[in-house]
Structure 1
Amino acid sequence: MGIFNKIFGKNDGHKETQIKSYKDFWDWFVTQEKDFYETIKNHQNIEIDFFDVIAPKLKEINGGFYFLAGMSDDSIAELILTVEGDIKNIIFAEEIIEAAPKLNHWKFTALKPEMNLTSGIEMDGKKFSSENIFFYENEIEGYPDEIDITFVYENLNEETKDAAITGVCIFLDNFLGELNFATQIDTFNVIGKDNAKKELVPITKLKDFLSWREREFTEKYKNVKNFDEEDQFSVFEATLKNGSPLIAAINTSLLTYDSKASYPWISILKVQYNGENNNGLPEKEDYEKLSNIEEQIIEELKIEDGNLYIGRENADNLKESYFASKDFRKPSKVLKKVIDDHPEYKMTLEIYKDKYWQSFERYNVNQN
């Protein structure tokens, strides 16, 4: 497939039709699809007649959508929706593509697929391929399920380190596919060949290695019951460096849970409030509103559906609510809706994989 360009959510004046749903977008797309197809096929004025037209429409649905376009073959144009590996937006790319109509001469794909990179990729005059990229696994004591990988790029040096790391990541994104690269590897680093400490494994064996580790993980936790102990919360207090108080309530019944890795996806909802007159803590009105919002989230992210409420923290005009889940898709949807439904607060969402809940070691949650 010849990829013509990548869009990063440009905005312009093409907003004649307001887009509020997936159906709205595809209904609009159908009215333009013949012109879009000819533009892509003939590679004429693609920036103006395709990219600058479709980007703001997608942005109306989700500001985290980006896309690639090109000819899949001589008669089929392909539109690939990507979220650049952002976990919290993956489900929405999957949903909008699932809602796509069947159109002659069009193929719609959610997330960048894995590609056959026999010749590798070239970026800034450097080549990244199976001939110069290798890997090895790092075993971390106390964290047997953690997949930590060191990637070795032969041509990496201090002067070109940043560009080399970017190139390796782009190679992996295409080699594994966006979903696999974003979800199958827990942590990784990129080094030069001179710094390697183990025997190098050809990058061509990476897919088989990750598939094996995934099967091993699934087998290990397939019979683990959902956590069902009674909640027991403890209050923690501390003082920040700026003198502001920190108050947290953490579900301490989770502290000794020995199957944390079966809930590997951590969601953190951050909500800003005005606590200037209360030492950075929420005043009564905000406290009650934010508590109600959190209760609604807990009701949506049920234990029986594979979600755990870890707790909350208030300090320095910011509330953070913590959840752990077996999968990231439901939390992504529930928490995005909360953000959309409460524009009176500035909220941000972070979702990432942390099999051993190392993010919460300050509360001694990480006990195995």
Structure 2
Amino acid sequence: MKLLKKILGKKEQAIVSPDDFWNWFLENEKIFFDVVNNQDDIEANFLNKLSPKLDELREGYWFLTGMFDDDTAELILTADGVIKNIVFIEEIVAAAPQIDGWKFTALKPSSDIENVNIHMADVVFSKDNLSFYSNEDPDYPDEIDISIIHDDYSEENHEAITTGCFIFIDNYLGELDFATTIDNVDFVEKDQITKELVPIEKLKNFLIWREKEFIEKYSGIRYNTEDDGYASLEATLENGMPLLAIVNSTLLEWDKKASHPWVLNIQIKYEGYESGMPDEETYALMNEMEDKIMALLPDSEGCLNIARETANHEREIYFACKDFRMPAKVLDQMQSEYVGRLNIEFDIYKDKYWRSFNKYDPPPQY
């Protein structure tokens, strides 16, 4: 039996926490450093070993590596722009030990614009051929909406140019700022511009100024939902199934929606009845989970429960939040707690003026 154990080797420890991951990394860091330093088939000898370990911890980790300087290898963990994964990237890097010869970075950092030159499909993206201007809408004064102009942009090469521009801006601003500061981007041909062009190198300062304005306007704002009124809505889907919704109608009239710009959308899929409604057991379990979420995401912490819909074998629950980190952690906790009992998915996206909920507006009166 001892011989058999020796032949089979030691079973690797499962990765269930950031500490587990870093303990594994410590055991291999010298080998990994040499691979990166010598560029010894980095994908096979480092990245392909790293990926399954990170996947054990959770899905959604991406990574880049290279030499930071002559003596230091750098590992950058990135959420690839997925908002709900950002907090977990930040946490795993915060838990990293100090290792001589290694630098660990959460999210792709910003770069000096002089060093940002992207070449894709025979097209160059640099400060020399990119500019922008801001679009203002008096109905949405806090929204950051910009138009990007590339000298060679046209409808025919739209996909290639937009992809390259997004990569350029991601490198220039850094992953976190690009993912969280700009609300909308469109692309305009040079002969269709409507405003004076601004050099792309001024984009960073423009965003800092707009963010400062936003913080000064909305800092400290909280909303108490205790006395709000709720509306019960019924509808019929195109497939004939009923839809039931409960909506905080008072909250939807609030004039400071932009102070809570992050929408949390929770989806729970279930079998239920042929009508698309849940059975009694599932209904009770979903309500139990929703009560827990309400307790963990209170309005005093900047999380406002806006609505829930039940239809077509799915319940959706909506919150508007001041930040995206807390709701991501709470929903990750709920997924773990109800695994095998409820099929829970969630997304977090920016919607400063809550356009997602225009569907609950009453029909116009004529």
CA contact (8 A) 1:270 1:348 kept: yes
CA contact (8 A) 1:307 1:326 kept: yes
> Aligned residue for 2:325?
329
2:265 is the counterpart of 1:257:
no
Instruction: State how far apart, in whole Å, the 2-side matches of 1:280 and 1:67 are.
Output: 41
| 2:196 match: secondary structure | coil
| 1:255 match: secondary structure | helix
Instruction: State how far apart, in whole Å, the 2-side matches of 1:307 and 1:234 are.
Output: 19
> Aligned residue for 1:205?
202
Instruction: State how far apart, in whole Å, the 1-side matches of 2:228 and 2:52 are.
Output: 45
The TM-score, its normalising length taken from structure 1, stands at: 0.92
Instruction: State how far apart, in whole Å, the 2-side matches of 1:50 and 1:223 are.
Output: 45
CA contact (8 A) 1:229 1:253 kept: no
* Identity percentage of aligned residues: 47
Instruction: State how far apart, in whole Å, the 2-side matches of 1:285 and 1:347 are.
Output: 16
Q: 1:17 to 1:126 in 2, by over 3 A?
A: farther
Amino acid at match of 2:70: D
- Deviation, structure 1 residue 257: 1.5
> Aligned residue for 2:27?
31
CA contact (8 A) 2:134 2:145 kept: yes
- Deviation, structure 1 residue 81: 0.3
2:62 is the counterpart of 1:48:
no
| 1:69 match: secondary structure | strand
CA contact (8 A) 1:20 1:61 kept: yes
> Aligned residue for 1:143?
140
| Alignment equivalent of 2:126, drawn from 129, 133, 140 | 129
> Aligned residue for 2:242?
245
2:278 is the counterpart of 1:282:
yes
CA contact (8 A) 1:275 1:316 kept: no
2:163 is the counterpart of 1:163:
no
Instruction: State how far apart, in whole Å, the 2-side matches of 1:295 and 1:301 are.
Output: 10
- Deviation, structure 1 residue 339: 1.7
> Aligned residue for 1:6?
none
CA contact (8 A) 1:91 1:329 kept: yes
Question: Which structure has the bigger radius of gyration?
Answer: 2
**Equivalences, count:** 350
- Deviation, structure 1 residue 223: 4.8
2:285 is the counterpart of 1:307:
no
- Deviation, structure 1 residue 346: 2.6
Instruction: State how far apart, in whole Å, the 2-side matches of 1:38 and 1:66 are.
Output: 21
| 1:149 match: secondary structure | strand
The TM-score, its normalising length taken from structure 2, stands at: 0.92
2:313 is the counterpart of 1:317:
yes
C-alpha deviations, 1:306-349, integer Å up to 9, x for none? 11111200111111000111111000000111122223333221
> Aligned residue for 1:69?
65
Residue ranges of structure 1 left out of the alignment (5+ in a row):
1-14
Q: Which range moved further: 186-195 or 236-245?
A: 186-195
- Deviation, structure 1 residue 129: 0.7
CA contact (8 A) 1:87 1:328 kept: yes
- Deviation, structure 1 residue 276: 4.0
> Aligned residue for 2:8?
none
Amino acid at match of 2:134: E
CA contact (8 A) 2:222 2:299 kept: no
CA contact (8 A) 2:308 2:317 kept: yes
Over the aligned positions, Cα root-mean-square deviation in angstroms equals 1.4
Residue ranges of structure 2 left out of the alignment (5+ in a row):
1-10
| 1:159 match: secondary structure | coil
> Aligned residue for 1:10?
none
| 2:98 match: secondary structure | coil
| 1:275 match: secondary structure | coil
